[in-house]
A and B are shown apart, each in its own frame.
Chain A
Amino acid sequence: MNSSVIIFPGSNCDRDMDVALKKFGFKNKMVWHDDDKLPKSDLIVLPGGFSYGDYLRCGSIAGKSKIIQSVIDFANSGGLVLGICNGFQILTETGLLKGVLQQNKNIEFICKNIFIKINNNENKFFSNIEKNVLELHIAHNEGNYFCSEDELKSLEDSNQIAAYYCAPDGKIDEKSNPNGAIKNIAGIFNEKKNILGMMPHPERMIDQYLSGEDGSIFFENLIRNLK
């Protein structure tokens, strides 16, 4: 399976993602934002970081970069696209995903482990995954997912909510919401479920000694689903 990670000026989770993808069997290539063609890929990843210094709005400048049109074309033709953290922000800025990531409700940069409950398993990212509650890591200042009431209803109606922040036992409650995201939303899909954006970082949870291995579960499952 071939994957590509796009690097923007200010991306800082690109190499972690490269390590994670390779560890679980992807042949990964790094792609510079100023290129206009994507290598042949089964998966495109927009990594976390602070692309363009978060100028204007998080993800807004990266959302207009040269490579993005190829990413949009790839996504619109059904290709799998994963945006983590700043990658999720970029996906909303391009319009591939609905809504926007606003500043955290408590105006603090949050860096900690959280739990998410997977809400939809009928897609390439989560089908057959062995655990429905995963412990992952978040590190962001703008992770407060927001969309209009109408958009929220359409996300719910078409089962586009990928994951919710939850307690370790999977209970979705206000206490487990780290950033004020509407309805505890941690990640969403597009309508066809080939584009996933989420704030938590699975690539930071792939080492049994340093972190935990719930991120490994995500990547192992993803590559199994793609084979």
Chain B
Amino acid sequence: MKIKVIVTLKSGVLDPQGKAIQQTLNGMGFANVKDVRQGKYFDLDISENDEQKAKFAAEEICKKLLANQVIEDFKII
């Protein structure tokens, strides 16, 4: 079963790369871009047919490795 995970920085946590991307976009003429936050995307292929079980496993995986919950949130989709 394929599970998608998105890890993003919590709001309020400084994102220097996102800021640099935003400034670059502004410099390229995309003047209406007010903010950019950079995140990470993961495709997990879990050998599990039950969606609930797969998502439960994905949640554990996010908590234990993929996201550092001091600064990051995760979303399983």
Query: Which residues in A have some Cβ–Cβ distance to B below 8 Å?
Result: 56-57, 60, 64, 92-93, 98-100, 102-107, 144, 146-148, 151, 180
- Shortest CB-to-CB span from B57 to chain A, Å, is 16
> CB-CB contacts of B60-76 with A at 8 A, as 1s and 0s?
00000110101100000
Q: Is the CB of B70 within 8 A of A100?
A: yes
Does B1 belong to the interface (CB within 8 Å)?
A: no
- Interface bin, chain B: 10 to 19
Separation of A194 and B35 alpha carbons in the complex (Å): 42
Task: List 5 tightest A-B contacts by C-beta distance, closest first.
Answer: A107-B16, A100-B70, A103-B16, A100-B71, A100-B68
Which A residues lie within 8 Å of B68 (CB)? Answer: 57, 60, 93, 100
Q: Contacts of A56 on B, CB cut-off 8 Å?
A: 65-66
Question: In the assembled complex, which residues on chain B have CB atoms less than 8 Å from the CB atom of A106?
Answer: 16
Q: Which residue of B lies closest to A93 (CB)?
A: B68
Chain A residues within an 8 Å CB radius of B70: 92, 98-100, 146-148, 151
Q: Do A64 and B14 have beta carbons less than 8 Å apart? A: no
**B33 contacts A by Cβ under 8 Å:** no
The CA of A93 and the CA of B68, in the complex, are separated in Å by 8
Minimal Cβ-Cβ distance residue in A for B16: A107
B71 contacts across to A, CB distance below 8 A: 100, 102, 146
Interface membership of B26, Cβ < 8 A: no
Q: Spell out B's residues near A (CB within 8 Å).
A: 13-14, 16-17, 20, 65-66, 68, 70-71
User: Are the C-beta atoms of A105 and B16 separated by less than 8 Å?
Assistant: yes
**Binding site of A, secondary structure by majority: helix, strand, loop or mixed?**
loop
A170–B20 Cα gap in the complex (Å)?
32
Q: 6 A-B Cβ contacts within 8 A? A: A56-B65, A92-B70, A102-B13, A103-B16, A107-B16, A147-B70
Chain B residues with Cβ below 8 Å from A93 are 68
Contact, CB under 8 Å: A64 / B16: no
Q: With A and B bound together, what is the CA distance between A146 and B20 in angstroms?
A: 20
Docked pose: A104 CA to B19 CA in angstroms: 13
Q: What residues of B have a CB within 8 angstroms of the CB of A147 in the complex?
A: 70
B70 nearest CB neighbor, chain A only? A100
Nearest B residue (CB) for A57 = B68
User: Is A60 in contact with B65, judged by CB distance below 8 angstroms?
Assistant: yes
CB distance from A160 to the nearest CB of B (A): 15
| CA–CA, A103 and B16, complex, Å | 7
- B20 close to A180 (CB less than 8 A): no
